[in-house]
Every structure is written in C-alpha cells, then in structure tokens.
Structure 1
Amino acid sequence: MMKFSTTILFILFTVFYHAQTLYSKAYGNPNNPPVIFIHGGPSGNATLFEGTTASKLAEKGFYIIVYDRRGEGRSKDENATMTFKESFEDLNQIYADYKLKKANIIAHSFGGIIGTLFTDHFPKKVSSLTLAGALFTQQETYDHILKQAKEYFKNDPARLKEISEVEQLAKNSAAYRKRCYEIAGAMNFFKMPSPTPESEELRKNYEAGEFYTNNIRNPNSPAKFYQNEPLNNLDNTKVLKEIKKKGIPIFAIYGKNDGIFSEKQLNDLKNIVGKNNFRLIDNCSHYLFVDQQDEFLQFIKLTLK
C-alpha cells in the first residue's frame, strides 16, 4: 500500500512540477479551431509571435495557444534535456492542459522540425501542419548559406578563411550550426529588405512592451540539444510525404527573401505540399508574421478555415 501511495505521489509531483515550469497562454474563444504555435530555437521562445500576432490571429476566429519549450524562454528548467522526446512531452502536456483532442500546428524555424516529427508520431492529434519559415532539410540550408557566403564575401579574405574553417567543423555540432547562422546574419539573411511602416510599428511596439522584456534566451540550449539528441541534422522530406499520405493537410508559407532557403528547397517543398497549399511572400524574410503580417494572417485564415 505504501509503495502504491509513494508512486502516486511521485506522479502527482511530476505533473505539478512540469505544469509549473512550462509557460503557455491561450488567446481567443476555446470553441474556435485550436492552433498551437511552435517557436524556433534551440534557445528560442514564442515572445515575438505572441507579442505581435497571437491575438490578431485569434480575432480571425481561432483559439491560439503559445508556449515556450522546457528549458527555453519563460519555461525555465535547468534539468531540461532539449531532446525531441522532451519536446513531444511538452506538446502533449499542452494538449492535456487545454483539453485538446486535435489541433492545427503552426511551426516556425526550428519549430518546423519539431512540428513535423510530432505530426508523424501523433497523427491523430494534428488537424493540419503549417510550416512558416520552417526548417525541413537542415544540411541543405547550411550548404546554401555557405555557398552564398563564398560569393558574397569573395573579396574578403578574412571571411573566406572563416567560411573554410566552418566547413571543416563536424556537421552534427552546435558550433557548426551557430557559425553557419552567424554568417547568414552577416549577409542580412534574416532581415526584411525594405521594411514597411506596418512592420516597423510592430517591431517598435514589441520592443517597447513586456514581451520583449521576457525575450529570454538560454545560451546552453543548443549545446544540450546536440549533446543529448542524436537526430540533430535532419532531412524531413520523406517524413512530410508520409504525413501527406496519412491525409493530414500540410501548408507552407515562406518569405521570398528568407536567405537561409535556396530556390531548390522551396520548389521541392512546394511539390510536396501542393501548389495551392504553398505561399511565397515578397519583401519578406524569416520572421514573416512580422514582416508581412497581413499576408500571413490571410493565408492562415484561408487555409485553416
């Protein structure tokens, strides 16, 4: 009897502890179609989407749920492992907390890897998967960044030496990923080419508010992920095709100026999800829900309704 009680107590403590450490918030009417947003990373959070877009998407007739993965952002947990298994546990906890049987998933950046794998593992829980500026063939992205960098910095010996050094790193390492994205940042691959008054206002309001204050980054997340997760450099092409075979709609929306994706990658993805389920937005980079928010909202409303 004592053993049974101890076991129950441990389970209750575990659930309580997890619920306390996982940040989440819902926007909109619970009777509307549920949408879960999965943020990027490792070392990301949902503050930019939450602070600029969540409530506006809820106004379009959706029940929007945002959360920060365990050990990232506002979900502080020093014991987090950053593995896909843990990410699945977090997502399943969100389903349980909000009493969801099925939900639409919008996955951004690295969140696209998590959203794709979760949909493949738990197809009955996913009504649709939307890849929003999401990673799907990681090595192709890194190769594309370095190839573009060689041309961009062709007259800069120091940069060319740096690129050569990056190419020598282990491709399944946090250092390789970090330095590829640093080079992409140096080429302005994550910046909107011609900021509009609307996008500038969104960023200004975000940076002046509480969400930016809570834009917490865990610098240990990438190292932990690469240390604990063997599946750390994935090509999810086959997985996406399998999801489609299961009858789950896949939508994809990307910025035309998101420099981390090659034209070939985007065409390959369009062929997988279908022309009508794919949207490429002009004057738009990686953070498309801020760069071109109206087009992003319109696409989501059109596809998920």
Structure 2
Amino acid sequence: MDYKNGEYQLLVNGISHWIRIEGTEKKTIPLLIIHGGPGGNHYVFERTAGPKLAEERTVIYYEQRGCGRSDLPHSEDYTVELLVNDFYCLVKQLGIKKVDVLGYSFGGELALEIALAFPGIINKLVLSAPSLMFSDMVYDTQIQGFQTVSDDIFFERIEKVLKQNISLKAKWERVWALADSKLVDRFLFENAKVADYNRRLWEESGLSNTGTLLESLQKNPPSTPLKKRLNEIKHHTLILTGAHDRNTGLKISNIIKHELSNSNLEIFENSAHFPDLEEEKKFVATTLDFLR
C-alpha cells in the first residue's frame, strides 16, 4: 500500500493492528516506534515526543497484538517470535524497504530481536531505556529501585518479602503487588509534575495493560537469552537512558552498549525511566541528530 498520514487498522498475521503515520511529506526513511510494557501503547508518546520527531522525520507508530488499540489474538497467542514477525509483515505490507526503529523500554528489547531476525530491513536503532526482560537482573534492579523510593513502612514490607523462601521472580511479583500508584510514579520518574502529567494521559487514554502479554512472554521466553546474542548486531545504535532509571536501569544499558560494537550511550542526568518525558527537548534533539 502507499502509506499516507493518518490512523489505520492494518490486518497483519490475522490480527488487526493499530497504526498511525505522521510526517510522510518529509520523505525520510520511516522511523517506526515500538512501545514498551509489555502490553503498553503509544498514547503518551504520540502526544509528547512523537509529533516533535515528526517535524523532521516520517514517523510510524504501531501497537503490538493485544495492546492498546490493536485486536486481541486468539487464545494467548504471544511469543517474541510472533511479535518480531508481526513487525516484519507490517513493514512489508506498507511497502517499506528500510526503516529506522525507536523502541522504548521493552520496545527497545523487541527492536534488538527484530534487528537479529531481519537485519536487512533495519537502518539505525534508537533504544530508550531498553530492557533485558528475561533475566533475573531486571527483577533485582526493580526491587532495589522500589527500595530507594520507599518510605520506612514500605521498605519494611519489601524486607519481609525478601526474607521469604520463594523465587526471586515471586518476590518481584509481590513487591509490585504491594506498590500503590504514588510509589510507582516515584519509581518511574524523578520529576513529580511530569509523573502527574503522564498519569493524567494514562487515565485520559482509557487504555489498560491486562498483563496477559507479559505473562505469556514469561512462560515462553526465547530459547537463547538475548544477552548472549547481542554481539551479532552490527547496526549503528543509539542508547538513551536516564541516570536514575530504576525500572530497566543503567546497568542493563551498559551491558547492551558493551555488547553492541557500533553503539553510543547518552545518559540523561535528570531522568528516570522516561527521558522522552523528563528531558523531552534533549531526547528529541539527540535522536534527530543521530538519525540525520
């Protein structure tokens, strides 16, 4: 199809996927945006950094199967391989030969999986606060992150969980179950005003994350961990990470940078997990400069 600016529902691998296209008049290599979660959506990004990127680039948003405004698959039909194949088929259906990719959080991890599976269609990669979801490192990072923003009462609750004779994953699940929205906002953001704005947009969207995608992916992780395959990726890659990221963490970004031979890491000193919101101007300028 000849793609034009606008919102579409595109049938990909039997699932109706929501996409939105901006900036086709710029006639650049399309910048395809991959959201995080797993199970998230683009509602906030398409109202903040996204339009500013579209002032210079052709930008394409799409929401993964079962996420946001895309349709649910039959049963729990979710694996990393399926998500990667959805991306490839969507790009081919749009008639695009080469794309730049910007993935944030889990979207950064998925972008790396796509680069491994279909290296020929990728031009450059931008990874914002990328995850390595299928690793104990993420559980440790997030538990420690909650400890750093907890009051005394919540800190004691976490300590009790950590003393329980259960798996690290089970401890991580219990810590998240204990956290209220105010604590989650402190965990994800440095700036309380930005956190409030983000939460208002979340509520305004009417979209929710059911948790099904995360649960399904955890049951069916890739046979070889992504960390062990990263050194196969040769694309020019920019990693953007908040210095205070308690969700995926600077440690994970440093591991990814170390393994990717053609990568640069830009640290955002006043941001936690969302440099695109907390330092939006710098995020947009750094991304556009890299893509030029």
**TM-score normalised by L of structure 2:** 0.80
Aligned counterparts of 1:64 and 1:222: Cα–Cα separation in 2: 26
Whether 2:211 is the aligned partner of 1:231: answer: no
Equivalent pair of 1:22/1:90 in contact (CA under 8 Å)? no
Aligned pair partner of 2:238 in 251, 256, 267: 251
Say whether residues 1:163 and 2:162 are aligned partners.
Answer: yes
The reply to whether residue 77 of structure 1 matches residue 72 of structure 2 is yes
1:108-129 CA-to-partner distances (Å, cap 9, x unmatched) read 1111221111101100010011
C-alpha deviations, 1:150-188, integer Å up to 9, x for none?
Answer: 6767874433112334x72364xxx66644555788473
Note if 1:44 corresponds to 2:30: no
Give the drift of 1:201.
9.5
Q: 2:18 aligns with which of 1, 23, 27?
A: 23
SS in 1 for 2:66: coil
Report the structure, 1 or 2, having the larger helix content: 1
Is 1:218 the counterpart of 2:205? The answer is no
State the partner residue of 1:67.
62
1:297 pairs with one of 265, 273, 284: 284
Distance 1:204 1:85 in 2: 31
Tell me by how many angstroms 1:20 deviates. 6.4
State the secondary structure of the residue aligned to 1:90.
Answer: helix
- State the number of aligned residues: 275
Q: For 1:162 and 1:205, locate their aligned partners in 2 and report how far apart those are by CA, in whole Å.
A: 31
Residue 277 of structure 1 aligns with which residue?
Answer: 264
RMSD (CA atoms): 3.3
Counterpart contact for 1:142–1:180, Cα < 8 Å: no
Q: Which residue of 2 aligns with 1:4?
A: none
Shift of 1:51: 2.2
Q: Give structure 2 stretches of 5+ with no counterpart.
A: 1-9
Where does structure 1 lack aligned partners over 5 or more consecutive residues? 1-14
Aligned counterparts of 2:159 and 2:239: Cα–Cα separation in 1: 34
**Paired residue for 2:230?**
240
SS at match of 1:55: helix
Following superposition, the deviation at residue 219 of structure 1 comes to 3.4
Identical positions, percent? 21
Alpha-carbon distance in 2 for matches of 1:154, 1:237: 35
The aligned residue for residue 3 of structure 2 is: none
Output the CA distance in 1 between the equivalents of 2:225 and 2:151: 28
CA 86–275 in structure 1, closer or farther in 2 if over 3 Å, else same: closer
* Distance in 1 (alpha carbons) for counterparts of 2:30 and 2:62: 14
